[in-house]
Amino acid sequence: MSILLKKTGSRSTLKEFRRAIRHLVRHNYLPDYAVEFDKDRDQVIFRNRGSVFSATPSEPDVSVPSLKPETYEKAKALVPGWDVYSIEREWREWMTKPPHVPNAAFLGFCKKWHEKHGFQQ
């Protein structure tokens, strides 16, 4: 769990992170993965429900420039406990045309994304 906490970029304590994972396991609401927690190993197990077939990430929209490092830090604060790079891929796939201010547009997307997908700890 401590490694997963670090990899997610969460600012939660390990205790809070475990509570969030237990909530995720209890409600099991990820559409593509079933989530289990192995208490003895202190490990989370994600099992593909069969809806995700490709291990190759989709190509990002090259017409949108790379985001600034500080944008990722701000995004992590907006969506605590979530993978901002995964959210960025979703954002890039969602766009129909390049935004005028990509960094601000991504942060706006993160706010809306968290309202829809986030949960209270």
* Shared domain check, 118 and 96: yes
pLDDT of residue 61: 47
pLDDT of residue 42: 86
Domain residues for the domain of 69 are 57-121
Q: For residue range 14-73, list pLDDT tens digits in order.
A: 999 999 988 988 988 888 888 888 888 888 888 887 766 555 555 554 578 889 999 999
CA angle 20, 80, 44 (to 5 degrees): 40
Q: Which residue did the predictor score with more confidence, 74 or 93?
A: 74
* Shared domain check, 65 and 44: no
pTM: 0.49
* Shared domain check, 76 and 41: no
Dist CA 66 CA 43 (whole Å): 33
* Shared domain check, 63 and 28: no
Is the per-residue pLDDT at 81 higher than 80? yes
